[in-house]
């Protein structure tokens, strides 16, 4: 066994190539060689070659019908790709790994892989990250492991807020609330609803915030909880146009217990004109009369 | 000789020489058998004493003392009113040695007595003569608000030292209460944080519970598999141990084959028949092999039964 990784790779390639003399590829030995070569490359910090070797090793393991090892190799390859900075490669490799994990029937590592991928690319390819997070969450929800999805939803919300897509962020928070409801995690659920209301208010969409609050109030426990009371105070402060009250509510301790991104939004409230709410409702009534005539 | 002895002695001497005390004799003789006169004299003396007390009460600044003096005066007045009725009866009685005019005078004197008695001030009267002062008004019959001019000057509405002190105290207490409120606010914030932490910890633990259950089942499965493997390994090892017998068998075989070939060499030399050259050693070899096989089988059976 030569310790030179190039030679190992060459040998393994020879083992796998089908020629006249070789009717079936010897995958076991080839995979062994590929793994050794990949580790050697990683130690030598030749990331490109290591990545390739890991990919080939993974394929070998697939041929040996052990998807678990294949997935593990794929993940290593993806981590090396992250070092290299090939973000598309990273996403693809992690996706492939996640599919292999699903083949094993293990949803948790699959979603972990997607989560790692999303975290790696969220700075550079935020849309791809969004897609990855959503896929990860749906994987967990299919497998009834909603509790693990909380962190992913929160990360997804953070990405949306960074992209300033506030409706998407609020939607993600409401999905978090739904997941929390399924596992009776009432504290997280109420915090998610309050965060959604704050996001709507930050986006200056008071009507949507009110609608959101009314929807969430269908749950009686929410009305009586700290977060529910805080939300109602915010909404009433907005409808009265009372800036002082809004600021005071935003400084309260209930909001301090939410996520960092939401706290930042809350501190910046109120955005835009607050007193325009009442005028808006009057306009609405005028339009209705016009429609009736 | 003690003081008491002296006092007794003096009293005795005074009694003995009382008859030489002119004024006293005169006094006693003056009223002699006249009950009325004696009673009248005592009543007058009481009235004078009461007037003295009332004067003292008016001058007294302590309320308690004035109240006590007034109460005594009232008691005295009540008693004296009773005496007056007695006097009235006595005055109507005919006394020997008294002229009609004197009797009439006595009657007038008795009539004048009640007025004099009532005139003794004891703090309850609110006659026109008296100014309605605060002093000595301990009775609740006549509660009036004093609006006399002597008190309504500027000093009345000025803050006295006491009231300003009260105000300062009140403000100090208010400040302290504000500090306490701030402290309570801090405590409330801390409790909010604790509550949030506790909720999150509870949810995290809920999350860990199914994971722990999964770990439990997987570890149980691995445990049982390991136990099975161990047992099988033990069985294989015990069967391998009897390979010692195997080696012994093989060595014996080789030795006996060597002996056989030796004998075969000798037999070839002795016997010229080719068949016998061929068969006898073969028979010998087969015989030996079968004996060996029997011994080997016997040994393995023994080892299996043991282990």
Residues of chain B falling short of pLDDT 70 = 27-33, 94-98, 123-141, 144-159, 241-243, 271-278, 280-281, 294-307
Its ipTM equals 0.76
Q: Give which of A213, A154, A161 is closest to A179, Cα–Cα.
A: A154
Q: Is the dihedral of CA B135, B140, B141, B147 positive or negative?
A: positive
Residues 210-229 of B with CB under 8 A from A: 210
Nearest to A185 among B192, B193, B206 (CB): B206
Q: Give percent above pLDDT 90 in chain A.
A: 14
Q: Would you say A133 and A159 are in contact if contact means Cβ atoms under 8 Å apart?
A: yes
The pLDDT value given to residue B131: 43
Q: Would you say A78 and A94 are in contact if contact means Cβ atoms under 8 Å apart?
A: yes
B189 interfacial to chain A (CB closer than 8 Å): yes
pLDDT for A175 beyond 70: yes
The mean pLDDT value of chain A amounts to 84
How far B231 CA lies from chain A's nearest CA (Å)?
A: 28
Between B23 and A277, residue with greater pLDDT: B23
Task: Give, in order, the Cα–Cα distances in Å from A232 to each of A173, A193, A237, B37, B239.
Answer: 18, 12, 8, 99, 80
The pLDDT value given to residue A284: 39
Tokens of B272: 């010229």
The pLDDT value given to residue B72: 86
- What's phi and psi for A20, nearest 5 deg? -65, -40
Q: Which residue has the tokens 């190799």?
A: A73
Whether the bond into A247 is cis, omega within 30 of 0: no
Task: Give, in order, the Cα–Cα distances in Å from B124 to each of A197, B66, B270.
Answer: 79, 12, 176
Tokens of B303: 């080892």
B208 interfacial to chain A (CB closer than 8 Å): no
A187 and B192 within 8 Å at the Cβ level: the answer is: no
A253 and B192 within 8 Å at the Cβ level: the answer is: yes
pLDDT band at A274 (very low <50, low <70, confident <90, very high): low
The pLDDT value given to residue B137: 47
Convert the pLDDT of each residue in B77-101 to its tens digit: 888 888 888 888 887 776 666 677 7
List CB contacts (< 8 A) between B206 and chain A.
Answer: 147, 183-185
Q: Give percent above pLDDT 90 in chain B.
A: 19
B192 and A148 within 8 Å at the Cβ level: the answer is: no
A188 and B203 within 8 Å at the Cβ level: the answer is: yes
The pLDDT value given to residue A285: 42
B203 and A187 within 8 Å at the Cβ level: the answer is: yes
Q: Give which of A258, A134, A230, B80 is closest to A238, Cα–Cα.
A: A230
- What's phi and psi for A258, nearest 5 deg? -85, -175
pLDDT for A203 beyond 80: yes
Task: Give, in order, the Cα–Cα distances in Å from A50 to each of A28, A95, B89, B276.
Answer: 19, 19, 145, 75
Report the b/e string of A228-249 with b at 16+ CB within 10 A.
bbbbebbbebbeeebeebbeeb
Give the C-alpha separation, A97 to A117, whole Å.
Answer: 10
Q: Which residue has the tokens 């935020």?
A: A126
Convert the pLDDT of each residue in A79-97 to its tens digit: 988 888 888 888 989 999 9
Using alpha carbons only, how large is chain B's radius of gyration in Å? Answer: 71
A257 and B206 within 8 Å at the Cβ level: the answer is: no
Q: Taking residues A60-71, what's their average pLDDT?
A: 89
């Amino acid at each position: 066994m030569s310790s030179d990784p190039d030679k190992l790779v060459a040998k393994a390639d020879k083992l796998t190539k089908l020629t006249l003399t070789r009717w079936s590829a010897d995958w076991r030995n080839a995979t062994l060689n590929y793994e050794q070569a990949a580790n050697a490359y990683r130690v030598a910090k030749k990331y490109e070659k290591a990545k390739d070797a890991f990919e080939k090793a993974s394929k070998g393991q697939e041929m040996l019908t052990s998807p678990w090892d294949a997935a593990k190799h794929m993940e290593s390859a993806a981590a090396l790709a992250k070092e290299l900075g090939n973000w598309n490669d990273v996403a693809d490799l992690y996706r492939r790994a996640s599919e292999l994990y699903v083949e094993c029937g293990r949803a948790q590592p699959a979603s972990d892989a997607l989560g790692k991928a999303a975290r790696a690319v969220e700075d550079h390819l935020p849309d791809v990250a969004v897609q990855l997070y959503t896929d990860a969450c749906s994987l967990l929800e299919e497998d009834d492991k909603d509790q693990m999805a909380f962190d992913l939803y929160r990360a997804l919300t953070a990405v949306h807020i960074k992209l300033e897509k506030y409706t998407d962020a609020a939607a993600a928070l409401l999905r978090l609330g739904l997941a929390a409801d399924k596992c009776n995690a009432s504290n997280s659920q109420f915090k998610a609803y309050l965060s959604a209301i704050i996001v709507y208010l930050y986006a200056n969409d008071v009507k949507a915030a009110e609608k959101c609050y009314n929807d969430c109030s269908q749950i009686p426990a929410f009305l009586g909880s700290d977060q529910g009371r805080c939300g109602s105070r915010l909404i009433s402060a907005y409808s009265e146009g009372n800036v002082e009250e809004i600021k005071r509510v935003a400084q309260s301790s209930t909001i301090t217990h939410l996520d960092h991104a939401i706290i930042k939004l809350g501190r910046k409230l109120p955005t835009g004109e607050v007193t325009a709410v009442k005028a808006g409702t009057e306009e609405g009534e005028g339009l209705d009369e016009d429609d009736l005539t | 000789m003690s003081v008491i002895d002296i006092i007794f002695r003096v009293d005795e001497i005074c009694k003995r020489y009382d008859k030489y005390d002119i004024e006293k004799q005169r006094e006693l003789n003056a009223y002699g058998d006249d009950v009325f006169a004696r009673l009248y004299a005592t009543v007058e003396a009481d009235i004078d004493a009461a007037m003295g007390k009332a004067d003292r009460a008016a001058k007294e600044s302590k309320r308690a003392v004035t109240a006590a003096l007034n109460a005594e005066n009232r008691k005295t007045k009540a008693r004296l009113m009773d005496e007056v009725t007695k006097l009235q009866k006595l005055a109507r009685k005919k006394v020997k040695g008294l002229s009609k005019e004197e009797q009439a005078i006595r009657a007038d004197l008795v009539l004048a007595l009640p007025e004099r008695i009532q005139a003794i001030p004891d703090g309850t009267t609110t006659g026109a003569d008296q100014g309605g002062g605060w002093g000595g008004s301990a009775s609740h019959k006549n509660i009036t608000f004093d609006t006399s001019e002597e008190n309504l000057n500027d000093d009345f509405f000025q803050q006295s030292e006491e009231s300003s002190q009260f105000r300062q105290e009140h403000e100090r207490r208010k400040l302290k209460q504000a500090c306490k409120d701030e402290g309570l606010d801090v405590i409330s914030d801390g409790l909010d944080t604790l509550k949030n932490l506790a909720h999150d910890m509870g949810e995290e633990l809920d999350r860990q519970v199914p994971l722990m259950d999964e770990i439990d089942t997987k570890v149980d499965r691995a445990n049982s598999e390991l136990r099975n493997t161990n047992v099988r390994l033990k069985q294989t090892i015990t069967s391998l141990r009897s390979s010692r017998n195997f080696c012994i068998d093989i060595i014996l075989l080789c030795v006996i084959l060597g002996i056989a070939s030796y004998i075969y060499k000798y037999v070839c030399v002795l016997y010229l028949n080719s068949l016998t050259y061929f068969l006898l050693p073969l028979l010998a070899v087969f015989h030996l092999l079968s004996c060996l096989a029997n011994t080997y089988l016997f040994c393995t059976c023994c080892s299996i039964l043991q282990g």
